[in-house]
Copies of this chain bind each other. A is one copy, B any other.
Amino acid sequence: MSNPPEAPARPGDPIAAIRTPALVVDLDLFEANVARMAAHADRLGVALRAHAKTHKSADIGRAQVAAGAVGLCCQKLSEAEALVDEGLDDILIANQVVGAARIERLVALSRRARIAVCVDHPGQVAALVAAGAEIEVLVELDCGSNRCGTTPEGAVALARMIEDAPGLRFGGLQSYYGRAQHIYDPDERARALEVSIALTARVRDAIRAEGIACDRVTGAGTGTFGIEGASGVYTEIQAGSYVFMDADYNRVRDGNGAPGGFTQSLYVLATVISTGPGRAVCDAGLKASSPDSGLPQVASPEGITLRGLSDEHGTLDDPEARLGLDDRVWLIPGHCDPTVNLHDWYVGIRGGAVETVWPVTARGRLY
């Protein structure tokens, strides 16, 4: 087995002592984001089931629950296993779990914690029954992303199948519009959601018309929770990225600012290892910051922009030659979720020093 890296800093260290590249959390801003989403959920009258796929961290999950979240979502069974091992005890696996070996693990996990899972195909329900699962099962509806999720007719049929299956409890409808999260224009985003919310309400009502209770409708993310939360249709929101934000979510507009008023709390801290004419090169590349949603942005120092990422290098435009060897560069990740999964540790800072380090509990739990 590989030896996971030791923590890149110790509590009490000055920021200059953090080994780079490192994932750094500004704790004041992070805590404000956690509290702000809890307040949004209160105001909207919906439950917050924070998505742990963003942070993969037991420490952060506990902070969300302490602030009022009813539990967590995970995207992978193995993430849920890692978090249950750390004492988190109420997790919706907001995804399909397929295959006999995985279902066996799911059944075992459901005996240790309150676990729910999504289905979008009768075969998944049959497999749960065959494994003797006693578990809460939600039906996932495809409300526009054209990824996972069943059709409206399929959703009603699956709800009936779950309701009639021994051991299974129908836990409601999951309707997550992933594609809408990243529509930058607020009016365009609202129009897309109008369609998905109406569809979701129709399917919920069709399930109820079958005499099946459907008290829970779960979905929504950081880009859309305000609209779904106020819709009267959704009872639970699954946002995750709000704890950190990223360069892409900072491009999503909600009135005059980022959605929900969240602020950037996560950085990849890098060190300059080479300088040349008009450029500097730092030690954070593709293996330290995922490029899938655009390049990271340079938060500090001013006047520096990122030209590109290669495997182990970030090449910076530095027209005024501000950067020297061993200088630090603060990068805002392009996309927080896959960037977090590249790291083994968070370094939490406050007041100019390291306050804590947290393991990325479920790093690499892809299965």
Q: Which residues of A contact B (CB under 8 A)?
A: 1-8, 17, 19-22, 53, 75-76, 78, 82, 85, 95-99, 101, 120-121, 123-124, 142, 146-151, 178, 271-276, 279, 281, 283-284, 286-288, 290-292, 309-313, 315, 324-326, 335, 337-338, 341-344, 359-367
Known contacts A96-B273, A292-B309; A8/B367 CB under 8 A: yes
Chain B residue nearest in CB terms to A288: B366
A359 touches B1 (CB 8 A): yes
Chain B residue nearest in CB terms to A179: B310
Please measure, in the bound complex, the distance between the C-alpha atom of A199 and the C-alpha atom of B121, giving whole angstroms: 62
Q: Which of B101, B120, B286, B366 contacts A292 (CB 8 A)?
A: B286
Q: Which of B1, B3, B310 contacts A147 (CB 8 A)?
A: B310
B312 touches A76 (CB 8 A): yes
Chain B residue nearest in CB terms to A274: B148
A363 CB contacts on chain B under 8 angstroms = 2, 364
A337 CB contacts on chain B under 8 angstroms = 286-287, 311
Chain B residue nearest in CB terms to A123: B325
Please measure, in the bound complex, the distance between the C-alpha atom of A311 and the C-alpha atom of B73, giving whole angstroms: 14
Chain B residue nearest in CB terms to A79: B312
Known contacts A344-B2, A364-B4; A95/B311 CB under 8 A: no
Chain B residue nearest in CB terms to A122: B325
B120 touches A274 (CB 8 A): yes
A95 CB contacts on chain B under 8 angstroms = 273, 312
Please measure, in the bound complex, the distance between the C-alpha atom of A361 and the C-alpha atom of B4, giving whole angstroms: 9
Please measure, in the bound complex, the distance between the C-alpha atom of A142 and the C-alpha atom of B123, giving whole angstroms: 57
A1 touches B2 (CB 8 A): no
**21 A/B residue pairs, CB under 8 Å, sorted by A:** A1-B4, A1-B7, A2-B4, A2-B82, A2-B363, A5-B78, A5-B366, A53-B311, A75-B312, A76-B283, A96-B274, A98-B272, A142-B276, A147-B279, A151-B276, A283-B366, A287-B337, A341-B342, A342-B342, A343-B364, A363-B364
Beyond A95-B273, A123-B324, 13 extra complex contacts between A and B, CB < 8 Å: A1-B359, A2-B4, A2-B360, A2-B362, A3-B361, A5-B365, A20-B367, A95-B312, A121-B325, A147-B279, A149-B274, A311-B337, A342-B366
